[in-house]
């Protein structure tokens, strides 16, 4: 009986000692191995295209002795500008702002009022010169733009995104090969994007009295892709 008790006590002591030094956590080790059994690579893809749309702003400033007269004169002038823009194919016409403010003379006294009205318009790049010339002829004395964009911007971005994922895959393959592994399935993707005009132009000025050079615009997509390893 004493031998049995001694053996049992020794067994308990051994278990206690094992608990104090810590046995390997097999589940934790497996989770760590699984979490590290991936590779992450980034990729950048871009597509260059010539913009086909132009957005511009056209304004009219009118002055008169009273605010009411200035506003009335400005309204008549802007109607002429709007009609001229519509006749040459302007679309997405939208008022940007309307303002009225007093004008002071050299002595600081108010000697009249100024009324302003500005409208934005979109057209094909090829039609932009006609919009500018027609608006100015109709009385516009404030012109700004054009802002260039592509009507198929979403399609261009998808192409850039596909290129970015392809580049990320190529980089990940290099990393996997260096580790003696091969790529498995994609487990995660993080996406980002941007579009910016290139600092050069590859098209000649359009044959018009107001030349417009669209240049090129670069649509860029960036991704970070995580692959499992085999």
pLDDT per position as a tens digit, 73-102? 999 999 999 999 999 999 999 999 999 999
Domain closes at, from 102, 134, 149: 149
- Tell whether 61 is covered by a domain: yes
216 and 201 belong to one structural domain: yes
Helix (H) or strand (E) holding 75: helix 67-87
Identify the bridge partners of residue 101 per DSSP, sorted by sequence position: 114
CA angle in degrees (0–180, nearest 5) for 150-59-109: 150
Give the span between the Cα atoms of 193 and 221, in whole angstroms.
Answer: 4
Domain closes at, from 89, 115, 149: 149
Structural contact between residues 171 and 43, judged by C-beta atoms closer than 8 angstroms: yes
User: What is the domain count for the chain?
Assistant: 2
Flag residues of the chain having pLDDT under 70.
1-36, 193-213
Q: The tokens 């010169």 sit on which residue?
A: 129
- Determine the pLDDT at residue 203: 36
Q: pLDDT digits over 198-207, tens only?
A: 433 333 333 4
Structural contact between residues 32 and 141, judged by C-beta atoms closer than 8 angstroms: no
Q: pLDDT digits over 95-117, tens only?
A: 999 999 999 888 888 989 999 99
Identify the bridge partners of residue 114 per DSSP, sorted by sequence position: 63, 101
């Amino acid at each position: 009986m004493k031998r049995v008790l001694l053996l049992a006590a020794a067994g308990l002591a051994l278990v206690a000692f094992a608990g104090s030094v810590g046995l390997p956590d097999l589940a934790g080790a497996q989770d760590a191995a699984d979490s590290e059994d991936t590779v992450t690579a980034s990729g950048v893809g871009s597509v260059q295209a010539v913009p086909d749309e132009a957005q511009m702003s056209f304004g009219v400033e009118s002055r008169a002795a009273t605010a009411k007269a200035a506003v009335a004169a400005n309204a008549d002038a802007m109607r002429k500008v709007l009609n001229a823009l519509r006749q040459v194919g302007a679309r997405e016409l939208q008022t940007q702002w309307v303002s009225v403010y007093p004008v002071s003379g050299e002595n600081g006294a108010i000697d009249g009022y100024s009324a302003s009205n500005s409208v934005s318009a979109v057209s094909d790049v090829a039609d932009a010169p006609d919009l500018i010339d027609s608006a100015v002829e109709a009385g516009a004395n404030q012109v700004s733009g054009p802002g260039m964009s592509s009507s198929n911007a979403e399609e261009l971005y998808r192409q850039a995104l596909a290129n970015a994922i392809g580049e990320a895959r190529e980089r990940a393959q290099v990393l996997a090969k260096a580790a003696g592994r091969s790529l498995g399935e994609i487990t995660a993707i993080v996406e980002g994007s941007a579009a910016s005009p290139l600092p050069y132009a590859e098209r000649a000025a359009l044959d018009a009295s107001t030349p417009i050079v669209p240049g090129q615009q670069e649509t860029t997509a960036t991704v970070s892709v995580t692959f499992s390893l085999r």
